[in-house]
A and B are shown apart, each in its own frame.
Chain A
Amino acid sequence: MLPDNTRPHGGNGHGHGHRHPVNFDPTATEPDPHAQTPWHGRPFRLGIGGPVGSGKTALTAALCRALGGAVNLAVVTNDIYTTEDADFLRAAGVLDPDRVEAVQTGACPHTAIRDDITANLDAVDRLTERHPGLELVIVESGGDNLTAVFSRGLADRQIFVVDVAGGDKVPRKGGPGVTTADLLVINKIDLADHVGADMAVMVSDAHRMRGALPVITQSLTRTPNAPDVADWVRAQLAVPLGV
């Protein structure tokens, strides 16, 4: 939990006539005012969005492999071809079939993750009922366009995945997916030479569009377990929900 700077004189006393919300004195021994645990009675919900074919399902599978041993996790897929993605995850052997829920989006994948998140919340609820103590639910959107982002009512954090083969001008085009996602992943960098993509331009465009928000480049061919993205997810899981 970050210090509440809007209340400069509330909180913990430290002996000079007023109280600060957070005590910055390293020798202080008073009780830690921070929330003790990230567990808020429901699993952390991570959205993974991006255009068709950018590698959302492959990244989801990689995260399951990287995190599955240590984190109690499950997946909701929104692919328009219903059980296609769920079957991929099952066939990849990275997740028990009963830890995957596929939802129908009524031919509107962006509506299902943004404007009306009911079907996805229902799927998360079913997984949570089946697996008490679930810590992480990865919600993978159906492939959509650059404007499709997750509602904050569905995803606590979201990753937007674009790929080198989709064109190195994509980050420059912007759109809420590129500019506002908590993490932008530029995927399939091993293909850059083959498709004539300029990685330097792509990465600098991404940073220019996103300001301080992070960008990770990766190739699941070279690093199948997506170590950088997995580290980022671990860092998100360590922060209490609602912060």
Chain B
Amino acid sequence: MPGTRGGLAVLALADSRFPNGGHVHSGGVEEAVARGLITDVGHLREFLFGRLRSAGLVAAVFAAAAAHAAAGRRADWPGLDAELDARTPSPAQRAASRAQGWGLLRAGRAAWQSQALSDLVSTTGRPHHPLVLGVLITASGAGARDAALVAGYHSVSGPSSAAVRLLGLDPFAVNALLIELTAELDDLADTASASAHLPPADLPAPGSPALDLLAESHDHHHREEVRLFAS
């Protein structure tokens, strides 16, 4: 089995230095910290495991499906976009996903030329982040499993970085936490790539009501008091 093609793009898209606005999103960590739900590395471990298995899996499933669709001829972009909406019950999380999708689109257009990307935008307007990610992965020559890996990694890398900034946690300990997720991320990528060919409505739909509520609470609070992150 040949190794990943388009490896540079996969690494660049996973890199927190990639300029698509991800650094202003904490994925619920800021709200959890504000409520005293995360105060140390142990709490962060539970949070990250939970986030990877829920929000991370949804993002990975749709990134893989988008990568698969972009490689084919009849992509149902409105269907994928609507089904991801349906799996994201929090309006604040939907807005955060579309904002990061738009940021990725701006950076992606400057670096890649892709007819699938143009089709995605012309049919959905402001597509969700995992869909843009999947299309760019395919445009680079990489595959659905790579898209799932990057999406899953994003779901925990940004929040872990936010926790370091907000709590002053030991960055080596937090980095070690991320590496603990190695097997989990592999399993997630397998699951997501196995479902990539399914019709949008049949894609997996794990949920995380706690994360949904944290996102809504964050959105509510940052209108009346200090919040450093957009979500």
Q: Are A116 and B23 in contact (CB under 8 A)?
A: yes
- Report the stretch among B51-59, B71-79, B203-211, B222-230 that lies at the interface: B222-230
A89-147 contacts to B (CB < 8 Å): 103-108, 111-112, 115-119, 121-122
- Among A81, A82, A108, the residue within 8 A (CB) of B23 is A108
Interface size on B, residues (CB 8 A): 23
A119 with B165, Cβ < 8 A, contacts A105-B24, A106-B23, A112-B24 known: no
A107 with B229, Cβ < 8 A, contacts A118-B106, A119-B24, A122-B103 known: yes
A104 with B23, Cβ < 8 A, contacts A82-B222, A118-B107, A121-B106 known: no
A66 interfacial by beta-carbon distance below 8 Å: no
A118 with B227, Cβ < 8 A, contacts A104-B222, A106-B26, A107-B165 known: no
Q: How far is the CA of A115 from the CA of B17 in the complex (A)?
A: 8
Please give me the residue from chain B that is nearest to A81 by CB atom: B226
How distant is A115 from chain B, measured CB to nearest CB, in Å? 7
How distant is A185 from chain B, measured CB to nearest CB, in Å? 27
B157 interfacial by beta-carbon distance below 8 Å: no
Counting chain A CB atoms within 10 Å of each CB, which of B23, B25, B102, B162 scores highest?
B23
Q: Are B228 and A119 in contact (CB under 8 A)?
A: no
A80 interfacial by beta-carbon distance below 8 Å: yes
Q: Are B229 and A106 in contact (CB under 8 A)?
A: yes
B177 interfacial by beta-carbon distance below 8 Å: no
B88 interfacial by beta-carbon distance below 8 Å: no
Q: How far is the CA of A122 from the CA of B226 in the complex (A)?
A: 21
Taken residue by residue from 204 to 218, chain A's Cβ proximity to chain B (1 for < 8 Å, 0 otherwise) reads as 000000000000000
Please give me the residue from chain A that is nearest to B230 by CB atom: A104
| Residues of B close to A82: CB separation below 8 A | 222, 226-228
How distant is B163 from chain A, measured CB to nearest CB, in Å? 11
Q: How far is the CA of A140 from the CA of B22 in the complex (A)?
A: 20
Q: Are B19 and A116 in contact (CB under 8 A)?
A: yes
Taken residue by residue from 68 to 102, chain A's Cβ proximity to chain B (1 for < 8 Å, 0 otherwise) reads as 00000000000011100000000000000000000
Counting chain A CB atoms within 10 Å of each CB, which of B20, B22, B24, B107 scores highest?
B24
Please give me the residue from chain A that is nearest to B18 by CB atom: A116
| Residues of B close to A104: CB separation below 8 A | 24, 222, 227-230
Q: How far is the CA of A112 from the CA of B103 in the complex (A)?
A: 13
How distant is B110 from chain A, measured CB to nearest CB, in Å? 10
Q: Are B228 and A116 in contact (CB under 8 A)?
A: no
| Residues of A close to B162: CB separation below 8 A | 106-107
How distant is B158 from chain A, measured CB to nearest CB, in Å? 9
- Among B19, B26, B222, B229, the residue within 8 A (CB) of A118 is B19
Please give me the residue from chain B that is nearest to A112 by CB atom: B24
How distant is A15 from chain B, measured CB to nearest CB, in Å? 44
| Residues of A close to B24: CB separation below 8 A | 103-106, 112, 118-119
Q: Are B25 and A106 in contact (CB under 8 A)?
A: yes
Q: Are B228 and A106 in contact (CB under 8 A)?
A: yes
| Residues of A close to B107: CB separation below 8 A | 118
| Residues of A close to B25: CB separation below 8 A | 106
Q: How far is the CA of A119 from the CA of B227 in the complex (A)?
A: 15
| Residues of A close to B156: CB separation below 8 A | none
B213 interfacial by beta-carbon distance below 8 Å: no
Q: How far is the CA of A108 from the CA of B162 in the complex (A)?
A: 10
| Residues of B close to A107: CB separation below 8 A | 162, 165-166, 228-229
How distant is B135 from chain A, measured CB to nearest CB, in Å? 18
30 of the cross-chain contacts (CB-CB < 8 Å) are A82-B227, A82-B228, A103-B230, A104-B24, A104-B227, A104-B229, A104-B230, A106-B23, A106-B24, A106-B25, A106-B162, A106-B165, A106-B228, A106-B229, A107-B165, A107-B229, A111-B23, A112-B23, A112-B24, A116-B19, A116-B20, A117-B19, A118-B19, A118-B21, A119-B21, A119-B24, A119-B103, A119-B230, A121-B106, A122-B21
The interface of chain A, by Cβ under 8 A from chain B, is: 80-82, 103-108, 111-112, 115-119, 121-122
New A-B pairs, 9, CB < 8 Å, besides A103-B230, A116-B22, A116-B23 = A103-B24, A107-B162, A107-B165, A107-B166, A107-B228, A118-B19, A119-B103, A121-B106, A122-B103
Closest A-B pairs by Cβ, 9 of them: A118-B21, A106-B24, A118-B103, A116-B19, A107-B165, A104-B230, A107-B228, A106-B23, A119-B24
